[in-house]
Amino acid sequence: MAAGVSFAGALVAIGAIVGLAAESDFESWAVNLPDYLGYSVLGLALLPLIRLLTDKVLLPTVKLTDEIARQDRPNVGAAYIEAFSYIAAAFIIYWCV
């Protein structure tokens, strides 16, 4: 269940980044496609970095991977932390770009 929660957070974040990159008014393929690809690739490249930052800053004494996947009873709370950090990062990336 913990892996599913963190994966769902990642999917929501990816959907938010791609959706928000496509938010502008359509003028033509030549004008909008490079902007869309640039924003999408930049946002999607920053998501793994945000995950590493979450691992180091929010839970410095343990690894999120160990808490979510490598225990007899996976830590669902750690999965929620990871999921919400993905979603929050997606909106922060959009507002900054």
Average pLDDT over residues 24-42: 88
pLDDT recorded at residue 60: 87
Q: In this model, does residue 47 exceed pLDDT 80?
A: yes
Q: In this model, does residue 11 exceed pLDDT 90?
A: yes
- Look at the alpha carbons of 77, 78, 81, 86 in this order and tell me if their dihedral is positive or negative: negative
Q: Which domain holds residue 65?
A: 2-20+27-96
Domain count, the chain: 1
Is the pTM higher than 0.75? The answer reads: yes
Q: Which of 6, 93, 82, 84 is nearest to 41 (CA)?
A: 93
Q: Which of 1, 14, 4, 6 is nearest to 93 (CA)?
A: 14
The band of 65, judged by pLDDT with boundaries at 50, 70 and 90, is confident
Q: In this model, does residue 55 exceed pLDDT 90?
A: no
